[in-house]
A and B are shown apart, each in its own frame.
Chain A
Amino acid sequence: MSGARPTRAARAGRALVVAIALLWSLGPVAYGVVLSMRPYAEVTRDPLGLPSGLDLSAFATAMRDEADGGFGLGRFVLNSLGVAAGTVVLSIVVCILGAYAAARLRYRGRALTNGIILAVYLFPGIVLAVPKFVILSRLGLTSSLIGLLIVYVAATVPVALYMMRNFFLALPQSVEEAAIMDGCTLGQLLVRVVLPIAVPGVVATAIYVFMIAWNEYFYALLFLVQHRERWTAPLGIAQLGDFQVPVTVLLAGSIAVTVPVVIVFFLAQRYIVSGLVQGAER
């Protein structure tokens, strides 16, 4: 059928590329996992060695409270969870409404609002960090997790709008038209008709938003570095790196905050990816 069928050499070449790619992508992560399970003294003595046994004490040391001789990562994780969950709820509610309007309603000024939102999506960043820091510290919110929550909602709304709009656009419009014919109000339409079929998209967007908030480091550093009680998990790990903390404990902490994100991402991977890359197919 196809004259351009791969030759044996091409197949071998591809296998080699795939092997190198996997080593390149996963090698450092595997290294981190292995090291987190070795005693610190052994790592410094023999950096190239393999673990002699399974030593998970570094994980416990990282998580335990300072009072119990640990490094308090457990508390940092709770802080992160709280902020990330709050961000997801606020950001998703705002975005379901906005994205539906952007995808379906032909209201006046639609092009303008869509343009503003796209511009904001493409132009986030460090530039706004200065005024955000000033405003929030004028309001007395820079030393609290609330201030962080506000910043995270603002940071995630544009990308969540973009993703959710793509999901809404992909839904069949006929169901909604039928519901409108039957006299559904907009609220009923959204809650009873649109959301039930949009659940995968909403969940995927929520996970993506959660990941952004969970992984964020810069604003946590800017706002909370002086307040150890309120450190988030990423800030905690980065700050502990400056203290005399055994590297195995740091790695254990890093792995511990990574695993949940990676698992959740892979469960919803198909939906997240399709929401992100839509528009690239053109």
Chain B
Amino acid sequence: MTARSRTASPATARPPKVRLTTQAQRTNRSGWLLVSPSLAVVGLVVLLPFALVVVFGFSDIRLVDIPYLGTEPIEWTLDNFRGAMASQAFWGALWTTVLYAGLTAVGSLAVGLVLALALRRPFAGRGLVRALLLVPYVLPVVAAATIWRTMLNPQYGVVNAFGRAYLGWDTPVGFLSTTTADVWGIPVPVALLVVVLFDIWKSAPLAFLFLTARLQSVPGEIEEAAALDGANRRQALRFILLPQLRAVALLLLLLRFIWSFQSFDDVYLLTEGAGSTQVMAIQVYTELVTKADIGSAAAFGLLMSLILGVLLIGYVVLSRRTDES
């Protein structure tokens, strides 16, 4: 960038001599002109709310205070954070959320990887199969949850009907309300696992898409060279393909963890938090809507974003390192 005097003529008048000297400035001006609507949206609806959530987190404010907002001085307090840290609900929700997000991230990556590898080589109808695998990802979450709730319903759901008819179940299983059940003596968090499975079902197609895109750009010669050197198919997969996928797999793992960490819809629509599936997002919603406590909801949210922020920084550092190598 050159630092020239600001004597540029208006963009409309363009005598050839001035045009050269103001090229950079005009680019500057048009650049800012074009991004300003985007920045305005981001600023007004993302950055400003973020500043406010910090203020709310440190103040005593409830839903009934909204009409007086901006007319009264803020009552600063640390109570929201003290309350969150001291509450059983917070730590319980945090653990549930980490478990939920972690299992979902690993699961959807694994399913996506199997699909991508299975569909790597061309076969008749591959395009159609690929498209059909995307259906769960495209489905509105409400529709998907309605279908799953019906499927798992204790009275008329197909899973329980099947289990009782063919698998010898004595009583129907409340998949979405059972906290833990003993399966061969091992306690299993039923409802949480069902929610995880649902999320894997919905999100694995995205992982599949990313992995497929990456696989397609692996040059075929590497594999051929490996085959000439006597590598078998398993070795080619282990030593040639998987290392190529590492960066995108890591990205997918992290993104899915971040998204699931703050996911509300999937869990709420399936269980409404029953069966010990109270994740952090539901906790924030409860604080805000049921308890009408804006300050506390903001504090819960801020603690959530703190954890996510650490993860994001970790990701940036990691991706820098892989870029360099």
Show the binding face of A for B, using Cβ within 8 Å. 1-4, 6-7, 10, 14, 17-18, 21-22, 24-26, 28-29, 31-32, 35, 43-44, 47-48, 93-95, 97-98, 100-102, 105-110, 113, 116-117, 120, 122-135, 137-138, 150-151, 153-154, 157-158, 161, 183, 185-186, 211, 214-215, 217-218, 222, 233-235, 237-238, 241, 247, 250-251, 253-255, 257-258, 261-262, 265-266, 269, 273, 276-278, 280-282
Contacts and interface: CB of A to CB of B under 8 A. Distances in A.
A280 B214 contact: yes
Interface string B100-132: 000000000000001100110101000001011
Contacts of A113: 35, 38-39
A94 B144 CA distance: 31
B284 interface: yes
Nearest to A220: B142
Contacts of A154: 41-42, 44-46
Nearest to A97: B34
B301 A28 contact: no
B227 interface: yes
A157 B41 contact: yes
Contacts of B248: 280
Contact of B27 (A105, A130, A241, A254): A105
Interface stretch (B49-57, B82-90, B187-195): B49-57
B265 A134 contact: no
Given A120-B42, A247-B156, A261 B140 contact: yes
- The 10 A-B pairs at the shortest CB distance, nearest first, are namely A107-B31, A98-B38, A154-B45, A254-B143, A47-B161, A131-B49, A101-B34, A3-B227, A131-B52, A32-B147
Interface in B25-70: 27-35, 37-39, 41-42, 44-46, 48-50, 52-53, 56, 66-67, 69-70
Given A28-B147, A122-B255, A126-B262, 8 more contacts: A17-B118, A44-B156, A47-B161, A101-B34, A129-B285, A218-B265, A262-B138, A281-B213
Contact of A186 (B30, B45, B144, B210): B30
Interface of B: 1, 11, 14, 27-35, 37-39, 41-42, 44-46, 48-50, 52-53, 56, 66-67, 69-70, 114-115, 118-119, 121, 123, 129, 131-136, 138-151, 153, 155-158, 160-162, 165, 201, 205-206, 209-210, 212-214, 216-217, 223-224, 226-228, 230-233, 236, 247-248, 251, 255, 258, 262, 264-265, 269, 280-281, 284-285, 288-289, 294, 297-298, 301-302, 304-305, 308-309, 312
A108 B28 contact: yes
A214 B53 contact: no
Contact of A21 (B56, B133, B298): B133
Contacts of A125: 262, 305
A254 B146 contact: yes
Contacts, number: 293
A127 B32 contact: no
Contacts of B227: 2-4
B118 A18 contact: yes
B31 A217 contact: no
Given A31-B158, A100-B34, A127 B304 contact: yes
Contacts of A116: 39, 42
Contacts of A4: 223-224, 226-227, 231-233, 236
A262 B267 CA distance: 23
B142 A32 contact: no
B118 A273 contact: no
A16 B48 CA distance: 52
A14 B280 CA distance: 39
Contacts of B46: 120, 124, 128, 154
Nearest to B125: A18
Contacts of A28: 136, 144, 147-148, 151, 201
B147 A31 contact: yes
A16 to B, nearest CB: 9
Contacts of B67: 138
Contacts of B49: 128, 131-132, 135
A253 B147 CA distance: 11
Given A32-B146, A127-B301, A276-B209, A262 B135 contact: yes
